[in-house]
Amino acid sequence: MSKAKVKSKAAPRASKASKSTKAKARAKAGGGADWRVETLARMRALILAADPAMIEERKWIKPTKPMGVPVWSHDGIVCTGEVYAKVVKLTFAYGAKLPDPAGLFNSSLEGATRRAIDIPEGAKVNERAFKTLVKAAVALNSSKR
């Protein structure tokens, strides 16, 4: 009898997730249309426009990221895209070696290899400078081959 009571008490708690929690879960899963999903989609379009030969795939699928992490590559990884609560993060595998005259990199600046761009809600990204950065990353990868 006590087992039935425990189950009946647990069920309502599990179904009372807040709307924001559900929206965050949808965003992490790649569903729903909040600003993070829209921002990642916009940046994806810029990446593919900068290099039509870019390969896109999903890697590192795990319970916390059931859709995996989008990875764009051309002769090696160019960048990854991740959705967090307050930012969309684009991490360039060899960003520290890329020229960034527009100052797009604003995260992971202490590392010797990677650099990232954190895009908070409402932020505008210089599209021309971003495409130039993607092209430079592709050129760097190609020069290593």
Cβ atoms of 68 and 58 closer than 8 Å = yes
Give the three-state DSSP class for 110. Answer: coil
For 62, the domain range is: 2-143
Kindly report the CATH number assigned to the domain that includes residue 101: 3.90.1150.200
Q: Report the number of distinct structural domains present in the chain.
A: 1
* DSSP codes joined into one string, 33-50: --HHHHHHHHHHHHHHHH
Instruction: Give the integer Cα–Cα distance in Å for 80 and 66.
Output: 16
What are 67-98's pLDDT values in tens digits? Answer: 999 999 999 999 999 999 999 999 999 999 99
Q: What is the pLDDT of residue 24?
A: 52
Q: Phi/psi of residue 55, each to 5°? A: -105, 130
How much of the chain exceeds pLDDT 70, in percent?
77
